[in-house]
Structure 1
């Protein structure tokens, strides 16, 4: 007669914790629907549909005059440059912060690990719009504030992702080099970095895609690029020009997504 399979205590505890977490999330979702004054009936009413139809109709035809398109192309290039430079600065800063934030295998807990992780939490917990609003005081209107805002927020995101990637990387080559007396820099350059480099590049490209969208939005607070033009023309209710700017944003995002996807495939 076969004996019944007894589930290990640790597995039972993990399943119970997972069930409690799911129940807590469901309760939070239900409480959110109850507490928020969501006007679903008004949103999907016939009057609301007519108002939205009139509003969308004002976007046509878009302004495609050569002079305006030249301004849009320049603003698009500015948005692309903001996102690329901000992502590059964030990748460098994130990697520098990830090294002390990651727990190195075979070593004692570093003193800087927890403070650096707090710093990464602070950087990514403040949205790009808030960073840009703060930096406008120091850097003034224009793309400088937007670039720095993207770099600061993305540094927190990439720093945390890079640190987790370093901690979860295979440790055999790291321990082998350390046993041969290699220093921390040598271990990182010849063991840790080759293991996680494709993952780090993938994270950076993904954040670049996100930063294209964020850079377009940052112009709303005066940080340059397509967003600044969009905010200006939308405030004057120049819907034809607004439609052209929205189309330029869409084209720019699609181009960057396609380029990022090709780069990831090539690296893979």
Structure 2
């Protein structure tokens, strides 16, 4: 077989590295950073896989083989599980409301929109999400004391920064055609947003919210370690006392809760994106 079609069929693949390829240089830079990280951190990998370390880990894992399933303790774990779930739900709800409010001034609704509050609003969102949930919880524990209230507020504050930025990006990237058609007809900014922009981005906003709820379930379980209530507080307490049979029960509840919420959230997002 000869001719142009044959030449196109048997064309050699491109070279693995091309000096004109920006992606190649980016991958090379990332590879250099990874190698430099291993060298600079001086990770004792040999000690991790030594016989003493493996034996210690084996003894530690063996202590989890008999979780405490007594009715009294299972009842305590159930109440802590509900507390963790409630913290994540309420924190996500508050963050959705606050993030939606801050996303409006943080986004440019159309090309001619001056959006004077865009820069300060985005700076505030960046500051809120730059501080991890554990740090927010430690700060709020000083203000409101131990318990789930501090954990809920910590989740709400951090997630507000995350969802607010995601909401603003979704609003700015919405197809401009329907909004422009309404503006030509003389509709105001509020009507344009409610009848043109919001219906287009609402499924995406709901998907972002559900995904962050999944993350907040895990974060709520960790926040309890600093005294913010829920399963994390029980985990820190029983691990501190080396009660591994009770610790195993708490970990089982964490895994089950995360799996159930992940499944429910994934199914909901699939329905929204159809």
Whether the TM-score (by the shorter chain) exceeds 0.5 is yes
Q: Which residue, out of 171, 176, 184, partners 2:176? A: 171
Q: Structure 1 residues 92-101 or 235-244, which shifts more?
A: 92-101
Aligned equivalent of 2:127 = 122
List per-residue Cα deviations over 1:69-122 (Å, max 9, x = no partner): 000000000000000010011111111111111111132331110111111111
Aligned equivalent of 2:159 = 154
Q: Structure 1 residues 217-226 or 178-187, which shifts more?
A: 178-187
Deviation at 1:16, TM superposition (A): 5.2
Q: Structure 1 residues 38-47 or 213-222, which shifts more?
A: 38-47
Q: Which residue, out of 174, 199, 202, partners 1:194? A: 199
* TM-score w.r.t. length of structure 2: 0.90
CA distance in 1: counterparts of 2:112 and 2:73, whole angstroms: 60
What RMSD in Å do the two structures reach over aligned CA positions? 1.2
Paired residue secondary structure (1:237) = coil
2:27 maps to 1:22: yes
Q: Which residue, out of 54, 75, 79, partners 1:74? A: 79
Aligned equivalent of 1:9 = none
2:54 maps to 1:53: no
Aligned equivalent of 1:209 = 214
Paired residue secondary structure (1:100) = coil
* TM-score w.r.t. length of structure 1: 0.92
List per-residue Cα deviations over 1:6-42 (Å, max 9, x = no partner): xxxxxxxxx7554443333222211111100101111
2:105 maps to 1:103: no
Unaligned runs of 5+ in 2: 1-19
Structure 1 segments, 4+ long, off by >4 Å, are none
List per-residue Cα deviations over 1:167-203 (Å, max 9, x = no partner): 1110100111111121211111111110011110011
- Contact in 2 for aligned 1:87/1:150 (Cα 8 Å): yes
2:36 maps to 1:31: yes
Q: Structure 1 residues 84-93 or 21-30, which shifts more?
A: 21-30
CA distance in 1: counterparts of 2:95 and 2:45, whole angstroms: 41
Q: Which residue, out of 131, 137, 151, partners 2:142? A: 137
